[in-house]
C-alpha cells in the first residue's frame, strides 16, 4: 500500500488545510448548524467534534481518505478472523470476546463463540462459588481480597475497570492490583491482606512473564509460609494459555481460565483477564460491560463511515496529528472514577500505533501515534493545563464526563461539569488582546478538543467507551498502514535485562555493554559491597 501522504485524498486534505489556515475556532463555533453536523450519538454516549478546527467539508475529505485507505475492508477482515496481525500471523478478534452466537465470529473458518462462552460459563461458576461461600480459602473462611498479578493489558484493563465501576462492586471483596517487579508493589498489597482470606489471580498468557511470575512466586511463598503448600490450590487461579506451567505452580484445573492467541493483551479485559472485575461486580454486571462493548462493535461494523463514531473520532485524531501537527494528545476525564483511563489509553494508543515501520516493512512517511497523557479533571487544571492553553506546542485533547454523578453531594457535580464545559471552551476561544489585557493574560485559543459525554458511567456505557477507543486506534492504524497488533518495541529492553539480571544476582560479567551501562553496573556493585558508589 502506498504511503498515505502520497495519495490523492491526503493531498486534497493538505490543500484544504492550507486554504483554512486563517480560520479560528471562535468564528467556527458561532455556527449552530456546524456544531449540530459535528455532533453524534449512540445510546448513552455523545461525541462532539465541533471544537476541533474542522468543518463538515473537512470531515467529508477525511471520510474520502478512510475510503481510499480501505478502512471498511480492513475492518471486515478483522471481523472475519483473518490474520491481520501479519507479523505474528494472528487474527485480532477481541470483538468475539463480547460477541454472541449470531455474530458468527470465526478464526480460520472455525467458529470461536462456543469456546468463548465456555470460558464465560466457567467464570460464572467460579464467581458464584466465591459469592455464595462454596469456594473459600484453605481454612474455610470466605475471601475478602482478590489480588490480580499481571502486567500490561493483564493489569491495566481490569485495574481501570474495577476503579471506574467501583460504585457497582458487591460488598465484601476488595480488588487489588500488583504489576511492578519492584517488591514494594506486592509488599504493600500483601500488608493489607490476610492469607486466610486472600485470592490471587495470576494473569500471564505464557505463564513465563518475568514481572508477573516473580510476583506470583513471592506471593506463593507468603501464602505457604502462613498456610502450607496445600493452600496454593485454594488461593490461586490463573488466566493463561500454558495450563501445564500453571499446574506445576500448584493451581488446580477448576481454577484455570484459558484465552487465545488472537487476543492481544491490551484488548483482553473482555476475556478471563477480566476475572477480578467479574468477581467484584458479579457476573451479571460483567455481562453488561461486555454488552456495552458489543453495542459499539455492531455500530462500528454496520454503520456507514460518515456516521460511525469510532471512525469519526479516529479521523479527528488524524486531522490533529498529521495536518494540525499536534505531537501530543491529552485525555481529561472529568470523573474521578476514570482517573486511570489516561494510563490505559497510553498503552492502547502508543503500543498499538507507536510505529516507524509500516505493514510492508518500509519506513513510515508521516507521524503516527502522538504522545498520550492525561489526568482526571479538575486536578489536571492545577498541573499541566497552563501548557495546554499558552504553551508553544499544540496539544489536542479529549474531555470526558458523565451527566449523572456517581456520588451526589451538594453542588459538587455542577462545579465539575462547569469545568468540563469551560476548559474546552477556553482552549477553543482564547482571549484576544485588548485594553487592560497584558500579553501574559492573552490566550491564543484555536486549541482543538473533543467532548465525550455519557449519560452515566455504568458497566454498559463504560464498555462502550473502551470499545470506542479500541476501534479508533484500529482505524488510525489502517490509515497510517501500521500493524496495530504487534509490539516488538517492548522486546529489546527485555532481552538486555536478562544478562544484566544474572550479572547483578551472580556477580558475573554481562558482555557487550556500552560504557554508560558498565559504569552504572559497577557503581551498583560498589555500593552493594559497602562502598559509597563513587
Distance CA 506, CA 484 (A): 39
Distance CA 236, CA 135 (A): 12
Q: How far is CA 234 from CA 123, 182, 199, 531, in A?
A: 16, 26, 8, 46
Region 512-524: mean pLDDT is 93
User: Is the pLDDT confidence value at 531 over 80?
Assistant: no
Q: Do the bridges between strand 395-402 and strand 371-374 make them parallel or antiparallel, or are there none, so unpaired? A: unpaired
In the beta sheet, which residues pair with residue 399?
332, 451
Query: Nearest to residue 168, comparing CAs of 463, 464, 458?
Result: 458
| Catalytic residue flag (residue 494) | yes
Distance CA 366, CA 10 (A): 11
Alpha-carbon Rg of the chain, whole angstroms? 25
User: Is the pLDDT confidence value at 159 over 90?
Assistant: yes
Name 422's Cβ contacts closer than 8 Å, sequence gap at least 6.
Answer: none
One DSSP character per residue, 478-508 reads HHHT--TT--GGGHHHHHHHHHHHHHHHH--
Give residue-wise pLDDT tens across range 97-107.
999 999 999 99
Please pick, among 382, 407, 440, 495, the residue that the annotation labels catalytic. 382
User: Is the pLDDT confidence value at 374 over 80?
Assistant: yes
Split at pLDDT 50, 70, 90, the class of 333 is very high
Tell me what percent of the chain is helix, strand and coil, each rounded to the nearest 5.
55, 10, 35
CA dihedral 124, 127, 133, 137 (to 10 degrees): 130
**Alpha helix ranges (H) inside 324-398:** 341-346, 352-353, 385-390
Residue 509 confidence (pLDDT): 86
Residue 113, CB half-sphere, CA atoms under 13 Å: how many? Answer: 11
Q: What is the per-residue burial (b if ≥16 Cβ within 10 Å, else e) of 169-192?
A: beeebbbbbbbebeeebbeebbee
What H or E segment, with its residue span, contains residue 28? Answer: helix 25-28
Region 148-165: mean pLDDT is 97
Please pick, among 351, 355, 389, 470, the residue that the annotation labels catalytic. 351
Higher-confidence residue of 496 and 145: namely 145
Residue 495 confidence (pLDDT): 86
Q: What is the CATH number of domain 4-68+303-486?
A: 3.40.50.10490
* Least confident piece of the model among 47-51, 176-180, 200-204, 440-444: 440-444
Give residue-wise pLDDT tens across range 342-362.
999 999 999 999 999 999 999
Split at pLDDT 50, 70, 90, the class of 491 is confident
* Least confident piece of the model among 301-315, 382-396, 481-495: 481-495
Give residue-wise pLDDT tens across range 245-298.
999 999 999 999 998 999 999 999 999 999 999 999 999 999 999 999 999 999
Residue 490 confidence (pLDDT): 86
Residues 507, 524: contact at Cβ < 8 Å? no
Higher-confidence residue of 493 and 453: namely 453
User: Is the pLDDT confidence value at 534 over 80?
Assistant: no
Query: Nearest to residue 501, comparing CAs of 213, 233, 261, 249?
Result: 213
Peptide bond into 301 cis (omega under 30): no
- Share above pLDDT 90 across residues of the chain, in percent, rounded to a whole number: 92
CATH 1.10.10.10 fits 107-281, yes or no: no
Average pLDDT, the chain: 96
Name 99's Cβ contacts closer than 8 Å, sequence gap at least 6.
Answer: 105, 113, 116, 294, 297
Please pick, among 307, 412, 494, 509, the residue that the annotation labels catalytic. 494
Distance CA 205, CA 217 (A): 16
In the beta sheet, which residues pair with residue 329?
372, 396
Residues 389, 406: contact at Cβ < 8 Å? no
Distance CA 82, CA 485 (A): 13
Nine cell digits for residue 150: 499481571
| HEC readout, 48-79 | ECCCCCCCHHHHHHHHHHHHHCCHHHHHHHHH
Residue 533 confidence (pLDDT): 57
Residue 532 confidence (pLDDT): 65
Residue 436 confidence (pLDDT): 82
Residue 300 confidence (pLDDT): 98
User: Is the pLDDT confidence value at 340 over 80?
Assistant: yes
Amino acid at each position: 500500500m502506498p504511503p498515505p501522504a502520497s495519495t490523492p485524498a491526503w493531498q486534497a486534505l493538505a490543500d484544504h488545510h492550507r486554504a483554512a489556515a486563517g480560520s479560528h475556532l471562535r468564528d467556527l463555533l458561532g455556527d449552530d448548524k456546524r456544531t449540530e453536523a459535528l455532533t453524534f450519538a449512540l445510546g448513552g454516549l455523545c461525541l462532539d467534534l465541533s471544537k476541533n478546527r474542522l468543518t463538515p467539508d473537512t470531515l467529508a475529505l477525511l471520510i474520502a481518505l478512510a475510503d481510499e485507505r480501505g478502512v471498511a475492508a480492513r475492518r471486515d477482515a478483522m471481523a472475519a478472523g483473518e490474520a491481520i496481525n501479519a507479523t505474528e500471523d494472528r487474527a485480532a478478534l477481541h470483538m468475539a470476546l463480547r460477541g454472541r452466537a449470531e455474530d458468527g465470529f470465526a478464526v480460520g473458518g472455525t467458529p470461536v463463540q462456543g469456546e468463548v462462552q465456555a470460558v464465560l460459563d466457567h467464570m460464572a461458576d467460579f464467581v458464584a462459588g466465591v459469592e455464595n461461600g462454596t469456594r473459600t480459602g484453605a481454612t474455610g473462611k470466605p475471601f475478602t481480597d482478590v489480588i490480580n498479578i499481571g502486567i500490561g493489558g493483564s493489569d491495566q484493563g481490569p485495574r481501570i475497570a474495577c476503579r471506574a465501576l467501583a460504585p457497582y462492586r458487591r460488598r465484601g471483596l476488595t480488588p487489588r492490583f500488583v504489576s511492578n517487579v519492584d517488591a514494594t508493589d506486592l509488599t504493600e498489597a500483601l500488608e493489607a491482606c490476610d492469607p486466610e482470606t486472600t485470592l490471587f489471580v495470576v494473569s500471564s498468557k505464557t505463564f513465563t512473564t518475568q514481572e508477573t511470575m516473580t510476583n506470583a512466586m513471592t506471593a506463593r511463598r507468603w501464602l505457604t509460609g502462613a498456610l502450607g503448600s496445600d493452600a496454593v490450590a485454594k488461593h490461586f487461579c490463573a488466566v493463561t494459555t500454558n495450563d501445564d506451567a500453571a499446574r506445576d505452580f500448584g493451581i488446580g484445573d477448576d481454577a484455570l481460565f484459558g484465552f487465545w492467541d488472537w487476543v492481544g493483551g491490551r484488548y483482553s479485559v473482555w476475556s478471563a483477564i477480566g476475572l477480578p472485575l467479574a468477581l467484584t461486580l458479579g457476573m451479571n454486571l460483567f455481562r453488561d460491560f461486555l454488552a456495552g462493548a458489543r453495542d459499539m462493535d455492531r455500530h462500528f461494523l454496520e454503520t456507514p463511515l460518515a456516521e460511525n463514531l469510532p471512525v469519526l473520532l479516529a479521523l479527528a485524531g488524524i486531522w490533529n496529528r498529521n495536518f494540525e501537527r499536534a505531537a501530543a494528545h491529552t485525555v481529561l476525564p472529568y470523573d474521578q472514577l476514570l482517573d486511570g483511563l489516561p494510563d490505559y489509553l497510553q498503552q492502547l494508543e502508543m503500543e498499538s500505533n507507536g510505529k516507524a515501520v509500516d505493514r510492508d516493512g518500509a519506513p513510515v512517511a508521516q507521524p503516527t501515534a502522538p504522545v498520550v497523557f492525561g489526568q482526571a479533571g479538575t486536578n489536571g487544571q492545577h498541573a499541566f493545563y497552563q501548557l495546554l492553553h499558552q504553551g508553544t506546542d499544540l496539544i489536542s485533547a479529549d474531555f470526558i464526563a458523565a451527566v449523572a454523578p456517581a456520588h451526589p453531594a451538594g453542588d459538587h457535580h455542577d462545579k465539575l461539569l462547569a469545568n468540563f464545559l469551560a476548559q474546552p471552551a477556553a482552549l477553543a476561544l482564547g482571549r484576544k488582546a485588548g485594553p487592560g489585557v497584558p500579553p501574559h493574560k492573552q490566550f491564543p485559543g484555536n486549541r482543538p478538543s473533543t467532548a465525550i459525554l455519557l449519560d452515566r458511567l455504568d458497566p454498559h456505557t463504560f464498555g462502550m467507551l473502551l470499545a470506542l477507543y479500541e476501534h479508533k486506534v484500529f482505524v488510525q492504524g489502517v490509515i497510517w498502514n501500521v500493524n496495530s497488533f504487534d509490539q516488538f518495541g517492548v522486546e529489546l529492553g527485555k532481552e538486555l535485562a536478562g544478562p544484566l539480571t544474572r550479572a547483578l544476582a551472580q556477580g558475573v560479567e554481562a558482555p557487550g555493554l556500552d560504557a554508560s551501562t558498565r559504569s552504572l553496573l559497577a557503581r551498583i556493585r560498589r555500593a552493594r559491597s559497602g562502598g559509597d558508589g563513587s
